[in-house]
Structure 1
């Protein structure tokens, strides 16, 4: 089987290229793609409970803690007691964090707009249908179902 013709290889290679592109842009602003992702996941005005960020982003708590510490050191976020639940902490954006969030959002829009200008609406719809189907099959644990039934 030609690895370049497998779905998983194309997904991985494409995501690695996108991540590299975003990391290069983030580096121009003293940041990383992961930090930009966190900035975009935090509610701009109200903040977001720290316990909600990890699951929202599909990130492990240890990795998220490290990123949040770095972002706090850079002055992009601050922590505040959650008024709804005194046991948890709200992650909020500083003014600098809000500026960085807008820059990150601009890069995401620029990427999306440029890709959309290069492919047809029909191709883009097909891409979204295929990725939705892959995610559904994975979530339903259907892909390796027959292997587990044989055991």
Structure 2
């Protein structure tokens, strides 16, 4: 792995994490996306549907498909947003709250396992590097538009 690029390490690690969570979720006829959605919805006040996509980093089409499946499984319910007549709030059902607790437990188990095997300083460095990468991408400091314009 010493010659691997940064994006290769990120991609293969994320794919391994995704596979692990999906394998665990499949034991309960669920998916990682469903678990992530459950964790992203405020269990008390609900969450506006428009804020879920950006919060989860999902495209509208994928999110819509996930929410439809979650509604069909009685994990969520949609209610009109009293503050915005055009908007919809997503609420967890009692069953959704139960599954949310399960998803939370799995995420915490993963985090604790990593913390037991990685020194705190190394973990702090990991978070710092991830923050730098995210900031550079958000601020378009890797591929700026000027580099790609025709002269």
> What range is the shorter-chain TM-score in?
over 0.9
Cα offset for 1:3? 8.8
Cα offset for 1:137? 1.1
Structure 1 unaligned spans of 5+: none
CA distance in 1, matches of 2:35, 2:51: 17
Structure 2 unaligned spans of 5+: none
Give the superposed CA RMSD.
1.8
Per the alignment, residue 147 of structure 1 pairs with 147
TM-score (norm 1): 0.93
Query: Is this contact kept in 2: 1:50–1:91, CA < 8 A?
Result: yes
Q: Does 1:20 align with 2:2?
A: no
TM-score (norm 2): 0.93
Aligned length in residues: 150
Of 46-55 and 32-41, deviating more is: 46-55
SS of corresponding position for 1:89: strand
Judged with a 3 Å threshold, the aligned counterparts in structure 2 of structure 1 residues 4 and 37 are, in CA distance, closer, same or farther, namely: farther
Judged with a 3 Å threshold, the aligned counterparts in structure 2 of structure 1 residues 4 and 100 are, in CA distance, closer, same or farther, namely: farther
SS of corresponding position for 1:86: strand
Residues 23-62 of structure 1 correspond to what in structure 2 (within 5 A)?
23-62=22-61
Moved over 4 A (4+): none
CA distance in 2, matches of 1:132, 1:143: 14
Judged with a 3 Å threshold, the aligned counterparts in structure 2 of structure 1 residues 150 and 117 are, in CA distance, closer, same or farther, namely: farther
Of 133-142 and 116-125, deviating more is: 133-142
Query: Is this contact kept in 2: 1:3–1:9, CA < 8 A?
Result: no
Per the alignment, residue 90 of structure 2 pairs with 91
Of 94-103 and 4-13, deviating more is: 4-13
